[in-house]
Amino acid sequence: MPITDFLERNAKIYPNDVALVEVNPEKQPKKDMTWREYNLIDAAEGEKYRREITWREFDIRANRFANLLFTRGIKKGDKVAVLLMNCLEWLPIYFGILKTGALVVPMNYRYSSDEIKYCLDLADVRMLVFGPEFIERINAIEKDISYLDDLFFVGKTSDTPAYADNYAQMTYYCSTTVPPVELKDEDDAAIYFSSGTTGFPKAILHRHKALVASCYTEQNHHSQTKDDVFLCIPPLYHTGAKMHWFGSLLTGGKAVLLRGVKPEWVLQTASDEKATIVWLLVPWVQDILDCIDRGDLNLEDYTLSQWRLMHVGAQPVPPSLIKRWKTQFPTHDYDTNYGLSESIGPGCVHLGVENIDKVGAIGKAGYLWETKIVDENGEPVKRGEVGELAVKGDGVMKCYYKNPEATDEILKGEWLLTGDMAKEDEDGFIYLVDRKKDVIISGGENLYPVQIEDHLRAYGKIKDVAVIGLPDKRLGEIAAAIIEIKEGMDCTEEEINEFCASLPKYKRPRKIIFAKVPRNPTGKIEKPRLREIYCGGSLVEAQITG
- Residue 318 CA to residue 190 CA, distance in Å, equals 33
Say if residue 173's pLDDT is above 70. yes
- In this chain, the answer to whether the domains covering 4-260 and 332-435 adopt an identical fold is no
* Domain 4-260 in this protein, CATH class: alpha beta
Amino acid at 541: E
Strand (E) or helix (H) holding 242: helix 239-251
Question: Is residue 211 classed exposed, middle or buried when 0-12, 13-18 and 19+ CB atoms within 10 A define those classes?
Answer: buried
Q: Is the dihedral of CA 72, 78, 82, 83 positive or negative?
A: negative
Residue 155 confidence (pLDDT) above 90: yes
* Rounded-to-integer distance, Cα 197 and Cα 440, Å: 9
Given this model, what pLDDT does residue 367 score?
95
Contact of 361 with 349, CB cutoff 8 Å:
no
Q: From residue 169, give the alpha-carbon distance in Å to each of 44, 74, 92.
A: 18, 19, 15
pLDDT of 538 > 50? The answer is no
Q: What is the pLDDT of residues 416-456, one digit of tens each?
A: 999 888 899 999 999 887 666 677 888 877 787 877 887 89
Distance CA 390, CA 374 (A): 7
Confidence tier at 195 by pLDDT (50, 70, 90): low
Residue 281 has pLDDT above 60, yes or no: yes
Question: What are the sequence ranges of the domains in the chain?
Answer: 4-260, 332-435, 440-545
Cα–Cα distance, 468 to 481 (Å, whole number): 7
Inform me whether the pLDDT recorded for 541 exceeds 70: no
> Other CB atoms closer than 10 Å to residue 484's CB: what's the count?
16
d(CA 222, CA 241): 14
* Residue of 76, 36, 94 lying closest to 184 (CA atoms): 76
CATH topology of domain 332-435: Luciferase; domain 3 (2.30.38)
Q: What is the 3-state secondary structure (H, E, C) of 267-308?
A: HHHHHHCCCCEEEECHHHHHHHHHHHHHCCCCHHHCCCCCCC
Distance of CA 19 to the CA centre of its chain: 21
Q: How large is the average pLDDT for residues 368-391?
A: 94
pLDDT of residue 315: 63
Q: Which of 21-35, 298-312, 404-418 has the lowest mean pLDDT?
A: 21-35
- As a whole number of Å, the CA-based R_g of the chain is 24
In DSSP notation, 53-94 reads EEHHHHHHHHHHHHHHHHHTT--TT-EEEEE--S-TTHHHHH
Superfamily of domain 440-545 in CATH is ANL, C-terminal domain (3.30.300.30)
- Distance separating alpha carbons of residues 273 and 528, to the nearest angstrom: 47
Range in 41-50, 98-107, 328-337 the model is least confident about? 41-50
Q: pLDDT tens digit string along 466-483?
A: 999 999 888 889 999 999
